[in-house]
A and B are shown apart, each in its own frame.
Chain A
Amino acid sequence: MKLLEVQHLYKNYGDFQLEDVSFSLPKGFIMGYIGENGAGKTTTLNLITHLCRADSGTITIDGISYEEKPKQFLESIGFIGDESYFPGEFRLNDIRSVLKMMYPSFQEEKFNTLVTDWKLPSKTKIQDYSRGMRVKLMFASVLSRDTKLLILDEATNGLDPVIRSEIIEMLQDYIMDGEHSILFSTHVLSDLEQIADYIIFIHNGKILLNETKEELLETYVMVHGALSDLTEEKEKKIIGITKAAYGFDGILSSADAEGFGSEFVLEKANIDQIMIHLIKNGGNSR
């Protein structure tokens, strides 16, 4: 069962184009939307949340499009960005009232529980909250509504490891019933990589890769070696080779790994390494 379905999205900003972006996210899973700064991550997310309009293409959440039922569509999304969207002068009480007014599905009790659990101060203005507190407040406001899809746009950047691991647990709770899904964008993977089921890799406005994380990690291996061991034939097989004075790095399609003997070091590649070397290779996977 698909929760989010994106088909043939186009958006032209003159100096940047999003081209034919299509993907779908099944119910109960987490998808990482990754790419460099300026690759088109935020543009895609803004089109999904209808912060801006696509030139063409369709987006549905649980089968419903914005054009059909705008209110229901927007209510089913919980969005968390890297900057707080609450007015800085507000205190916790003000936010509670606004949420109550704006969202019919807002559950005040759940909000209060979350806010107490995370020790968010009620007397402090939001502008004086730490970044971690502001992110937690956004989570509390979103999780106390009846949403189906969480969209996180670089939401965990710059947070300390303790808060990040709390958030990861929160995200896993969110998808626990198999009905809710999460789409997160990031340019730094690390810990979020662990819980992602699907990885989409966007580069220059186009989707380069769309695979389960398991498949992706099995497709490539990392290779290091000495320049003197590198033949022309071998170099052709290495994707996005980086040469330094004493050696080289690159990734290999796992199928090509056999030809590389013990003079080379082969090891598991992580998503960051795969991304770096694919970009180095001009975004080509071969």
Chain B
Amino acid sequence: MKILISSQSELPIYAQIREQIKEQILNGQIKEGTILPSIRKLAKEVGVSVITTTRAYNDLEKEGFIASMQGKGSIVLSKDNEIMKEKYLMRIEEGVITAIETAKHINMEEEEFHHLVSELWKELRE
């Protein structure tokens, strides 16, 4: 796990920690089942207050990325759970929307777009 705090960022520190952990879970750098460092340990490693890391973990738990286990710290949840699926779906939608907008920009037909997608799908599967 990698956490870099910037004092220049407009995001508050707890949000920087939350977003960085979230990003690393979504891109697979932090694997499901990983046990995250305790709130107090993380506070020490990053050099921030306990309340700050508590807040980051609480947010991640509310958003369904992690679950806290009594006395054992927090565990990264599996990608198969509903909330995580939703997060991934949102990511996919974002990407597709950008692609559609770009396609519209050059007046691409819908059918042509579908065709492109299925060709690429085939290519990447192999």
- Write the residues of chain A forming the contact surface with B, with a CB cutoff of 8 angstroms: 28-30, 165, 168-169, 172-173, 175-176, 178, 194-198, 212-214, 217-218, 267-268
Contact = CB atoms under 8 A, between A and B. Distances in A.
A29 B52 CA distance: 11
Contacts of A268: 10, 12
A214 B55 contact: yes
8 contacts: A29-B49, A172-B43, A172-B47, A194-B49, A195-B43, A196-B49, A197-B51, A198-B51
A169 B45 CA distance: 9
Contacts of A196: 49
Contacts, number: 50
Interface residues of B, number: 14
B40 interface: yes
Nearest to B9: A268
A30 B51 CA distance: 10
A213 B51 contact: yes
A175 B48 contact: no
Nearest to B43: A172
B3 interface: no
Interface of B: 10, 12, 14, 40-41, 43-44, 47-52, 55
Contact of A28 (B44, B50, B52): B50
B16 to A, nearest CB: 12
B40 A28 contact: yes
A169 B10 contact: no
Contacts of B49: 29-30, 194-197, 213-214
Contacts of A178: 40
Contacts of A172: 40, 43-44, 47
Given A175-B40, A214-B52, A194 B47 contact: yes
Given A267-B10, A268-B10, A268-B12, A214 B44 contact: no
